[in-house]
Chains A and B, each alone.
Chain A
Amino acid sequence: MSMRLYLWQRATAALMVPLVLVHIAVIFYATRNGMTAADILSRTRGSIVWASYYGLFVVAASIHASIGVRNVLAEWSPLTDRRAERLALAFGLLLAALGARAVYAVVLS
């Protein structure tokens, strides 16, 4: 792994420490008496705070997961480093796109 990817991996990890802690708290809160769509959407719809929080989370997770997948492919698969990098980049872009769509779905739709 290059120094640049290593630093991005660690920076996004550090950024996600508080984000994941909040996410776990939200998981427990959301499931306190059964999850309903109305309950979830009433929290998220039109909320700039949740849109920013999840938007940042999606960006950080997409970068972090894509670097992680690149490392696993490079070390555990027969793919060349170059192919592993391309596949991981495509995966990261897919995650970012699906994540942005999910944030749009619960905040703006």
Chain B
Amino acid sequence: MHRGSALWIAALVHRLSGLALAIFLPLHFLALGLAIDGEAKFESFLRWTDQPLVKFAEGGLVFLLTVHLLGGLRVLVIENFDWRDGQKQVATIAAAISAIIAFIFLARVF
């Protein structure tokens, strides 16, 4: 796999998206944990997330989650089934589907 090739980029995207999701998860859990102090506190946090910048960030997270899921599925399929053709196309399609899903998410929340 050459540095800079489509599949090298796919592996890098998979690693970076996983790392970003790992960094986000504790914050996600802390936000949900606000409900321990009552519905009002959780609600005021959710109203804070109504800001456009936060919505864009959420769109980014939807992209990261989808691209990590599809990238991971590609790895699982390559490792467990006898199928090797068209990996570049599959990786590109995975990125495209993730971008489309993130875009639909943004179109819905704005």
Contact = CB atoms under 8 A, between A and B. Distances in A.
Interface residues of B, number: 36
Contacts of A79: none
A16 B28 CA distance: 17
Residue with the highest number of chain A CB atoms closer than 10 Å, among B50, B69, B79? B69
A24 to B, nearest CB: 7
A102 B69 contact: no
Interface in B45-69: 46, 49-50, 62, 65-66, 69
A21 B35 contact: no
B1 interface: no
A71 B22 CA distance: 13
B19 A41 contact: no
B109 A31 contact: yes
22 contacts: A10-B76, A10-B79, A14-B76, A16-B69, A23-B65, A28-B108, A37-B35, A37-B40, A37-B42, A38-B39, A40-B42, A65-B18, A65-B21, A68-B19, A68-B22, A72-B18, A72-B19, A95-B22, A101-B36, A102-B28, A105-B34, A105-B35
